[in-house]
Chain A
Amino acid sequence: MTGLLRADEGENAKTSRSGANEAKSRIASFTRDAALVLDCGVSLDPFSIAYQAYGSLNAEKSNAILVCHALTGDQHVANAHPVTGKAGWWETIIGPGKPVDTNRYFVICSNILGGCMGSTGPTSINPVSGKPYGLDFPVITISDMVNAQARLVTSLGIDSLFCVIGGSMGGMQVLEWAAMYKDRVFAAMPIATAARHSSQNIAFHEVGRQAVMADPNWRAGRYLEEGVMPAKGLAVARMAAHITYLSDKALHQKFGRKLQNRPTVSFGFDADFQVESYLRHQGATFVDRFDANSYLYITRAMDYFDVAADHGGVLAKAFTGSKTRFCVISFTSDWLYPTRESRRIVHALNAVAANVSFVEIESDKGHDAFLLEEPELFATVSGFLKSAAEKRGIAPTRVSDATDA
């Protein structure tokens, strides 16, 4: 195994183990020589990116896959979450022998810039004040997140990624990677996503942000210093958002009008209905693992996202000359990022004669389908990656590797 970077070896001098919440994550720190100039004009220095890695980088450094997480995801994509103890958010699809086969590929997943699981974000200490940034953290964009990831990838000695994969906001990062770093992305899988936020997308996010900011404990973003948490506001934001991740049908099939542990309605404002109880639970558990200001910043980054806007209003121009192999995936019941948005991406890619596959998967699970056991999703990811790996000359999984795992 000499010459190969293994995920479990802390070879990189810049990496170190961090505190309790990120116990298992490695942290790449970047200082002055690698300062990040953000879209808003602010230069972020220093900054850190927390990440997880799985599998081994091959000698040619050609088998690295970057997985980009969604709004409330994090780097714990294929290992138990250090806070919740739950399985990694995409453990069904990433692992030895799985569609994203860690016996064959070196998989990296980093906490986005602005996140709250070890990467620099509003909870980090502002070097100027010595206090948490709070609202002094600069407003970030999806391309800022991608630029930060690119620094991480470079620091790992990887010039070109085999594939960048992500769903929802992760898919936005995939598109931004493909647009900004054409030569560094061999294949790209944007899943359940859009090349811009629609008015409705922005509207839902604004409801969430207003809920956070309406919580008296938000304290104009200074809650960490004051030792309080805007838990109620953040929980309401999560509840509203959670509805958008599910389809009407999935929600009704699961809960219908069933009552929660009671024979009849209470003529009060308790959680009479199971769906209310479920949403309250979703809200309550979310606040244990997510920072309210991070939620504001990340939703803002998504709202600002519009790939075409950076290219004279023509989406196709973002991909002119791209040699990347694309596989765009959408789900029939996803009304948050509906198929028509994926089709818009596909049409733009067609317009520059890019290499693109487009699969719409029949599912009644809504937007969240991309996180769930969907056999057709797995077959698509697996088939696309295998074929692309062949084109890139990545050696197939060896039997010895397979048995190692």
Chain B
Amino acid sequence: MLNRPPSAGAAATTRVDLLLIAEMVRAGARVLDVGCGAGELLKLLEDTKNVDGRGVEISQSGVNFCVAKGLSVVQGDADRDLINYPDGAFDYAILSQTLQATQRPKYVLEELLRIGRHAIVSFPNFGNWRIRMQLLVEGKMPVTPNLPEAWYLSPNIHFCTIKDFLDLCDEVGADVEQQVALNAYGRRLNGVPLFLQNIIGEQAVFLLTRKPR
């Protein structure tokens, strides 16, 4: 369920998405990657940022693959197993392309903000114009290079738009330190107004911290 979208068409974009996350992470930090898939991001972070990295992955094959590559990964479910981690155990708790596949996105985001001093969340923007158009014109659930599965096969059960996510951040008391939307070509939409980001953006990456209580 926490596997990243495997679409080949999205490869270039995914790459940018991971690089962007890596940019947000301080060198040498303690990092937990929730839904780490085959470990691409963890590997990238270990190679380029020398992080002390750990991963959680729901699919056993993903876990075994990661551990055989030498990454520290445990089999676990973001919806159930984050509770085992102590408060502030990591500098960054990362949820890359996984939020939309969780049962309880709000709870998972709260857990990320509890475990990590920062949370980094990336997700596909359901407000993207292609998706809007497919719904509007065809009247069918959207299938895009980034979200290639039919609705009945998709692991993604909780889609949101960039605006929706901002509302959720507000709701759980998260401060948005950095917010980047990427277009279909993986280009950053810097200086673009929010309403346009929410239309052109195909993916979004947020760096968050919990508001002091």
Contacts and interface: CB of A to CB of B under 8 A. Distances in A.
Interface of A: 325, 327-328, 346-347, 350-353, 355-362, 376, 379-380, 382-384, 386-388, 390
Contacts of B81: 347, 350
Interface in B82-107: 84-86, 89-90
A353 B64 contact: no
B72 interface: yes
A360 B52 CA distance: 23
A353 B63 contact: no
Contacts of A346: 74
Contact of B70 (A328, A347, A384): A384
Given A325-B72, A359-B64, 17 more contacts: A350-B81, A351-B85, A353-B30, A353-B86, A353-B89, A355-B52, A357-B72, A358-B76, A359-B60, A359-B67, A360-B60, A360-B63, A361-B64, A380-B68, A383-B68, A384-B67, A387-B71
A61 B67 CA distance: 26
B140 to A, nearest CB: 37
B97 to A, nearest CB: 22
Contacts of B60: 359-360, 362
A386 B89 CA distance: 26
Interface of B: 30, 52, 54, 60, 63-64, 66-76, 81, 84-86, 89-90
Contact of B86 (A352, A358, A383): A352
Contact of A360 (B30, B75, B86): B75
- Secondary structure at the B interface, as helix, strand, loop or mixed, is mixed
Nearest to A361: B64
5 contacts: A347-B84, A353-B30, A355-B54, A359-B60, A387-B71
A347 B85 CA distance: 8
A358 B54 contact: no
Contacts, number: 67
Nearest to B32: A353
Nearest to B82: A350
A358 B74 contact: yes
A309 to B, nearest CB: 20
A388 B68 CA distance: 11
A334 to B, nearest CB: 15
A350 B34 CA distance: 13
A283 to B, nearest CB: 36
B72 A350 contact: no
Given A358-B74, A359-B75, A360-B60, A351 B86 contact: yes
Given A350-B85, A356-B74, A386-B70, A376 B64 contact: yes
B63 A359 contact: yes
A166 B75 CA distance: 21
B156 to A, nearest CB: 25
Given A350-B85, A353-B85, A390 B63 contact: no
